[in-house]
Chain A
Amino acid sequence: MLRILHQIFKIGTVTEPLSESNQLEILGTQLEQAVRKHFKGSLAIRAVDAGSCNGCELEVHATNNPYYDIERFGVHFTASPRFADMLLVTGPVSCNMETALKMTYDATPAPKLVVAMGDCAAHCGVFGCDNYAVAGAVADIIPVDVIIHGCPPTPTDIIQGVLKAIQG
């Protein structure tokens, strides 16, 4: 236990509004205000991989790491769509995930915000829309509020996209 505490104190807080990234600081403040205003301080996101290569998932994980710590702005990822405010959908929607994505959308209470994350979610990316196994971009399957471009988008891009969706 002492060694854990020692390590924690030695590393200190690496979370970054401090000086590392000004962009993140401004984003963070705006995000926190928006979450407080529109979602009473808590925004629950359900991440849905609808056919991603897993690259986007790694960057969604990174938004939770100690540098970005998206949870400090009141944003957290939830296990069920039943109490989610937002769906964060990645990947071109594969034919085999189309039904599951629609069911997840239907299970989410209104008003459900949908963020399509990554080039694949936006326009099928390298996999192409003229592909037998791809049902389409996310917007072809369910209504989308905001698109985040990038392959994959960086954690800062993701935070920005989430902010845009709740301000919009």
Chain B
Amino acid sequence: MRFAVNTWFAERLGDHGIHSEFLADHHPVHMPCLEIRLHDWEQAAGEARRLEMRMVAVWAAEAGKHDISVSGSRALYVYMAFAHPEHRHALLRTRLRDDTREVQSISGHYISACRMERTLQDMFGIHVRNIPDSRAWIKHEHWPENVHPLRADFSVTRMSVEPERNAIDYDYVQSSSQGVYEIPVGPVHAGIIEPGHFRFLAVGEYILNMEERLGYVHKGIEKAMQGRTAEHGIRLAARVSGDTTVGHAWAFAHACEYASNTAAPKRASYLRGILCERERMANHIGDIGAICNDAAFTFMHMQMQRLREDMARMHADVFGHRLLMDTITPGGVCRDVDAVSCMMLMQQTRTIAAEVEHLRSIYADHPSIQERVIGAGTVCIADARDIGLLGFAGRASGDYPDERIEEAYPPYDDVEVRVAEGKLGDVATRIWVRFEEIADSARIIGQLLETLPEGDIQAAWIPPESGVSGFAAIESWRGEIAAWVRFGEGGCIDRYFVRDPSAINWLGLELAVRTVPVPDFPLVNKSFNCSYAGHDL
């Protein structure tokens, strides 16, 4: 792998007097990590905003092997990543002062950074100055006050829950206006879904405001990843969000491979593409059925569930797992496919795409479902850009970030990806984009199977030396997954950060349900289908 060093962002920052230093122990160089001074932090984010870059993530890490540590304790670094459609990703980082551990908030430029900054406060005890919302986020009320799980000096294996703290209430947004009433929902929801809390403020039938409270399925994944080898860690990465197991395993593997300067063999990258596109198809098929079910169009739900089951069974036969878990390893994939399996995959993919097209014409033909989805739960293009809405939700609103095109990692450097360009941003457009993506994924799978190169499926995995980090951005079915990994001694992971697209798209749902009738909430919610597990980590 040889890439040209991407100096675009460093030059733009330099034009505005922001000095940045290129970090040599970060890979790949076309998505560089630049160190800037602490007092330039907020201005750098403002510059990124002016350059129309998308905010990818904000996270923190304690000093790695090559970083400066004063007086024995490990210094804290804060990172942020941005992406530009043409100039790709760039990471910035800065070192916090040991005595104050303060950083300026960038939420004024990118509102979607706010929850990530709140997580920094919870997990590291970093003080984010001028943060518009300083409430704890992942750290729920019952946690002891001064615990910061991602700091090295945190050694608690079980949180001692303090019963008296259970009585503390989260400070939800409230309204004192007459006629406004609250509906609390969750964390245990009515359906077979993940836990989270929604607090509605409603007037009559209509939602005035919906506030999300997440973090219920926080399982300490970032901490649990520390000290694992990449081969061991990928099993955990594959379970960040069970419905996106291929996407998350790929993002993890890709970040590790960049760090160690390993390239997966071409055949392996094609197989990864096939796995990822099959996952995209299966999830879109399941979701379209579920959205229709929420509007009482059960016929579509049953038909789509049938197709999804057909896919799951084929996955068990060909790849050994119904949901495709543990099929990707650092350096390649676990299972090869023979000619017979290729034929079966090809045939089934085509049949399912044709069946979906047929069902789509029935869906389009029914005013009863069309009435419910057209114009429901709209996110306008300005809002979508503002929060950096990702994946199919972004594409439905007129913003089209797609890492398969922008980053064009293998195998997408060999195949064309056609992006569905929606505009209206309502439930109907999100369904339309999903239908389009099912058809396009089927086409891509066909092309990858036809041109599947011969060769190995696994490159020898040699972990990088201590202190080296890697960053990857993979387009999962929900949208871009950003993963950053840094290795420590003995090939073990020292810090893993991953941002599921849901971390951003949850904000889209909050915007979409304003002025929507309360009974339409499930419909709109399902059209986004954000991951709770992927967000909570």
Which residues of A line the B interface, CB within 8 A? 3-4, 7-8, 11, 14, 47-62, 64-67, 77, 79-81, 91-92, 94-100, 104, 125-128, 130-135, 151-152, 154
CB distance from B165 to the nearest CB of A (A): 11
- Which stretch (B149-157, B457-465, B482-490) binds chain A? B149-157
Which residues B415-473 have CB closer than 8 A to chain A? none
Q: Is the CB of B243 within 8 A of A151?
A: no
Binding site for A on B (CB under 8 A): 140, 142-143, 149, 154, 156-159, 161, 166, 187-188, 190-195, 215-221, 223-224, 235-236, 239-243, 245, 286, 299, 302-303, 305-306, 308-309, 312, 316, 322-323, 325, 358-359, 361-362, 365, 531-533, 536
Chain B nearest CB, measured from A15 CB (Å): 10
Q: Are B242 and A94 in contact (CB under 8 A)?
A: no
Instruction: State A82–B201 Cα separation when bound (angstroms).
Output: 26
Are A126 and B192 within 8 A (Cβ)? no
Which of A3, A58, A96 contacts B216, CB < 8 Å?
A96
| Contact indicator A151/B325 (Cβ below 8 Å) | yes
Give chain B residues whose Cβ lies under 8 Å from the Cβ of A79: 190-191
Q: Choose among A11, A57, A133 the residue with the greatest number of B CB atoms under 10 Å from its CB.
A: A133
CB-based contact A61/B217 at 8 Å: no
Are A133 and B190 CB-contacts (below 8 A) given A51-B219, A53-B242, A54-B533? no
22 contacts between A and B (CB under 8 A): A7-B303, A7-B362, A50-B195, A57-B194, A58-B242, A60-B192, A65-B302, A92-B219, A96-B218, A104-B188, A126-B224, A126-B235, A127-B221, A127-B236, A128-B224, A131-B220, A132-B149, A132-B154, A132-B157, A133-B219, A135-B161, A152-B242
Q: Are A55 and B194 in contact (CB under 8 A)?
A: no
Name the CB-closest residue of A to B232. Answer: A126
User: Is the beta-carbon distance between B215 and A62 smaller than 8 angstroms?
Assistant: no
Instruction: Please tell me if the beta carbons of A132 and B323 are within 8 angstroms of each other in the complex.
Output: no
How many Å lie between the Cα of A48 and that of B192 in the bound state? 7
Shortest Cβ-Cβ A-B pairs, 8 listed: A55-B242, A133-B220, A79-B190, A53-B242, A65-B305, A54-B242, A53-B239, A47-B192
- Which residues from B are CB-within-8-Å of A8? 299
Instruction: Tell me if A's interface is mostly helix, strand, loop or mixed.
Output: mixed
Beyond A56-B242, A131-B224, A132-B158, 19 additional contacts (C-beta under 8 Å) are A7-B303, A7-B362, A11-B306, A50-B195, A52-B217, A53-B240, A55-B239, A65-B306, A77-B191, A91-B217, A96-B140, A96-B217, A99-B142, A100-B195, A104-B188, A127-B221, A128-B224, A135-B158, A135-B159
Q: Is the CB of A49 within 8 A of B194?
A: yes
- Compute how far the CA of A133 lies from the CA of B161 in the bound complex, rounded to whole angstroms: 11
Q: How far is the CA of A8 from the CA of B149 in the complex (A)?
A: 54
Q: Are B217 and A67 in contact (CB under 8 A)?
A: no
Chain B residues with CB under 8 A of A104: 188
- Residues of chain B within 8 A (CB-CB) of A51 are 216-217, 219
Name the residue among B142, B217, B303, B533 with the largest chain A CB count within 10 angstroms.
Answer: B217
Tell me the complex Cα distance, A100–B217, Å. 11
Residues of A within 8 A of B240 (CB): 53
Beyond A11-B303, A14-B306, A67-B309, is A132–B220 a contact (Cβ under 8 Å)?
A: yes
Closest residue of chain A to B297, judged by CB?
A: A4
- Name which residue of chain B comes closest to A46, CB basis: B188
Identify which of B143, B216, B359, B533 contacts A53 (C-beta below 8 A).
B533
Q: Taking A7-B362, A54-B243, A66-B306 as contacts, is the C-beta distance between A100 and B219 under 8 angstroms?
A: no
Chain B: minimal CB distance from A163 (Å): 19
Name the residue on B nearest A57 (C-beta).
Answer: B192
Within the complex, the shortest CB–CB distance from A151 to chain B, in Å, comes to 7
Which chain B residues lie closer than 8 Å to A132 at the CB level?
A: 149, 154, 156-159, 220, 223
| Cα(A51)–Cα(B537), bound, Å | 10
A-B interface pairs (CB < 8 A), number? 157
- B305 A130 Cβ-Cβ under 8 A: no
For A107, give the chain B residue with the smallest CB separation: B188
Q: Are B533 and A3 in touch, CB under 8 angstroms? A: no
The smallest beta-carbon distance between B407 and chain A, in angstroms, is 25
How far apart are B212's CB and chain A's nearest CB, in angstroms?
14
Minimum C-beta distance from A97 to chain B (A): 5
CA separation between A90 and B83, bound complex, in Å?
A: 37
Among A54, A55, A62, A99, which residue has its beta carbon within 8 angstroms of that of B309? A62
* CB-contact partner of B157 in A58, A60, A81, A131, under 8 A: A131
In the complex, which of the residues A3, A58, A100, A131 contacts B187, with contact meaning CB atoms closer than 8 Å?
A100
CB neighbours (8 Å) of B192 from chain A are: 47, 49, 57, 60-61, 77
Measured between alpha carbons, how far is A79 from B215 in the docked complex, in Å?
22
With both beta carbons as reference points, the residue of chain A lying nearest to B195 in the complex is identified as: A49
Q: Is the CB of A126 within 8 A of B217?
A: no
> A94, B218: Cβ atoms under 8 Å?
yes
Report B324 CB to chain A, min CB distance, Å: 10
Q: What residues of chain B lie closer than 8 Å to A128, measured between beta carbons?
A: 224
In contact, A67 and B306 (Cβ under 8 angstroms): yes
Known contacts A126-B239, A131-B220: does B190 contact A49 (CB below 8 Å)? no
A54 to B248, CA, bound (A): 13
- For B322, the closest partner residue in chain A by CB is A154
B217 to A134, Cβ gap below 8 A?
A: no
The answer to whether A49 and B323 have CB atoms under 8 Å apart is no
Residue of B nearest to A136 (CB): B158
Question: Which of B306, B309, B531 has the most chain A CB atoms closer than 10 A to its own CB?
Answer: B309
Q: Is the CB of B142 within 8 A of A53?
A: no
Contact of A58 among B142, B188, B191, B323 (CB under 8 A): B323
Task: Please give, as numbers and ranges, the residues of chain B lying within 8 Å of A64 by CB-CB distance.
Answer: 305
Report the bound CA distance from A8 to B301 in whole Å: 12
Give bound CA distance, A161 to B161, whole Å. 32
Knowing A65-B309, A95-B159, A95-B161 are in contact, say whether A54-B218 is a contact too (CB < 8 A): no
